[in-house]
Structure 1
Amino acid sequence: MENALRIPARRALRMATATALCVAISFALDLSIPVVAPVFAAFLATQNRPLSLREGAALTLVVLFTTGSGLLLVPLLRHYAAAGVMIVGLLLFVAFRYGLRSGNNLVATFLAAGLTMISAAGTANFALAVTVVSALVNGLVLAVLVSALTHLLFPEQLDAAKRPGKRTLPEREAMRVAWRAAFVVMPAYLLATTDPASYMPIIMKAVSLGRQSCTTTARSAARDLIGSTLLGGALAISFWFALRLFVHVWMFFLWMLLFGLLVGRKIYGLSRTRYPAGFWLNSLVTMIILLGQSVQDSVAGKDVYTAFAIRMGLFLAVTAYACLMLLVFERRGRAG
């Protein structure tokens, strides 16, 4: 019983510490897209163990493939937009299917985010695409290093760190779910191509929803997807007003640590809840994205509250569309 309580507590501490450190370091170093590192740190924490040498090598190859293919798609999207969009959709399907069948979910998530963000940025400005490449690589490297550090700070027994065998979906079911996730991401991607600088956070939110849609049923879609988005917005508002009491990077770290612990308790079952872990993880990711953009809006002198309201409205629209896709694909699956 003692070990059963200690292990979830350490995992919650790792997640909260990793996201808080990534937030503080990203904003202290003024990274171009500072929310990338904490978002990937949250995803990394769900693996409950550091990356192995093989997974690290695979992730390095994915980074090279993602950045290279994303930049190569830019000329195609500029001159043959329809063909370029279809290729992006196909690559999204391949990425999500890889995660569902035999691959690492983190690798699949980075592949989906990288392809969409880099190619969307390149349609407006090649220099912006290079900036996104730098932001993704720097954010991922920071997340991996912080994850390794938190595993040293809060280790757990080797047998406890082993993950249970991954449930592999049948080929037909994996293809259906992967197509569904790709359709969830595509509208946000198309919107981002119209103004990449403004709508880049929408892509990150859509990729997070696509990842969550792989484990959510149509019956619980509204509760899991829309509910977690609304909760993430509420957490971001609370965080923002708490941070205003004393604006400092270390207070940013401490508040992120507190909010990360509150959500981590739900994810790892320390505080019992009827909602699945994916619900709370999506809430945390939504909070990080919304809060990070609000901080950047404040630094740039923009109207934070108007920008937050518009961004939250877009997040809810993307989430409602994701719920619709779950319903449509489930009905087609039954009909088939």
Structure 2
Amino acid sequence: MDIRARRIFRLSLTTALALAIAYAMGGIFAFLAPLFAFILTLKPAPPMGIRGLLAVVIIISLTTGTGLLLVPMLMHYPVSAMLLAALGLYLSAYLTLHLHQAALGMFVALGTSLISTAGLYNFTMGSELVQALAGGMAIAIISQWLVYPFFPEPSGTAGSTPDQPPPDPRESRWIAMRSTLIVLPVYFMALTNPSLYMAAIMKSISLGQQASELDARHAGRELLGSTFLAGFYAMAVWVGLSILPNLWMFFLWILLAGIHIGAKIYGALPTRLSPSFWVNVMTTLLILIGPAVADVSSGKDVYMASFVRLGLFIFVSLYAWVTLSMLDAWRHRQMNRHLQPEPS
């Protein structure tokens, strides 16, 4: 089998299998498992072993559990807590950019923002969310164990990545600051209504990581375009699922969407858009469709809730684009001012 086909089927089947296992177990945040499975399987490498799984679960519990420590501070010392949250978001972006610890940076960001927000709304929910994050990662890794033997990487290519030049510390600090400013206002809004903005926080964290690789010229197409397209994918999956609403059909529709988007990511289907664009489409699709399924069981109006959620995602994407453009324009002006010769 062609190496691109192996990667496409491994990515889509691992994501769909993690979704089926998580929803069969009945977790309240079941959509986290396929999201983690998709992120982990993007890299063409064998899955981690049992020791790696245990280490990851411990790291997730520690990094996200620190968000619960912010809850009493948010209630009694809100200014200090918000400054600590800003520091945590900056640290998470710096870990991702400068130290190339993307998974660790993501969980620091989730603990700082998502867990503290959920804990402020309901401390029990915050504790359950920490358990759901660790459990979702475990399900994702187990799904990798089950799928990888059928679609392994050819010998000599597994885990091979080109050497990257060491990052410039000043550039890393600047991009980390830019990423923090994208996530922080959404976090502040979520503190006023945690139940409404929790999904928007996850979207802003995803955008903050994606914006680290973008410039202002391509940010609009990458950030807004991928969000709109994810909305169309989510509607297509929902219409297909409404024909026969059961877990196996959910599994099959996510598998089909994963195959099509994976083919775009790995270049099997021609596209003018970057792989990061399609990665953001799939992550946004999972963040949209998962809460929509949960809305059915809770008796909410699915269409209205999904419309509000998608509107928030578009607003967050638009804000990220405007922030990115303004900060880059300001920085270019400052650099040009320093480069101009002083009058004699």
What range describes the TM-score normalised by the shorter chain of this pair?
Answer: over 0.9
| Alpha-carbon distance, 1:165 to partner | 2.3
Question: Counterpart of 1:173?
Answer: 171
Question: Counterpart of 1:23?
Answer: 19
What TM-score does the superposition give when structure 2 sets the normalisation length?
0.92
Tell me the C-alpha RMSD between the 2 structures: 1.7
- 1:266 and 1:151 mapped to 2: Cα distance? 20
Q: Does 1:112 align with 2:114?
A: no
* Contact 1:176/1:329 (8 A) holds in 2: no
Q: Does 1:68 align with 2:82?
A: no
* Contact 2:64/2:107 (8 A) holds in 1: no
1:233-248 map, 5 Å: 233-248=231-246
Q: Among residues 33, 36, 42, which one is paired with 1:37 in the alignment?
A: 33
Q: Does 1:46 align with 2:65?
A: no
- 1:327 and 1:191 mapped to 2: Cα distance? 22
Query: Which letter does structure 1 place at the counterpart of 2:36?
Result: F
Query: Which letter does structure 1 place at the counterpart of 2:28?
Result: S
- Structure number with greater Rg is 2
Q: 1:57 to 1:24 in 2, by over 3 A?
A: closer
| Alpha-carbon distance, 1:57 to partner | 6.6
* Contact 1:62/1:111 (8 A) holds in 2: no
Q: 1:164 to 1:88 in 2, by over 3 A?
A: same
| Alpha-carbon distance, 1:212 to partner | 0.7
Q: Deviations over 1:242-301 (max 9, x none)?
A: 111111101111111000000000000101111111100111111111111111112222
Q: 1:235 to 1:197 in 2, by over 3 A?
A: same
* Contact 1:15/1:42 (8 A) holds in 2: yes
Q: Among residues 6, 9, 28, which one is paired with 2:2 in the alignment?
A: 6
1:139-150 map, 5 Å: 139-150=136-147
Identity %: 38
Q: Among residues 74, 77, 82, which one is paired with 1:80 in the alignment?
A: 77
**Equivalent residue of 1:160, what SS?**
coil
Structure 2 unaligned segments of length 5 or more: list them.
Answer: 336-344
Q: 1:50 to 1:82 in 2, by over 3 A?
A: farther
What TM-score does the superposition give when structure 1 sets the normalisation length?
0.94
Query: Which letter does structure 2 place at the counterpart of 1:175?
Result: R
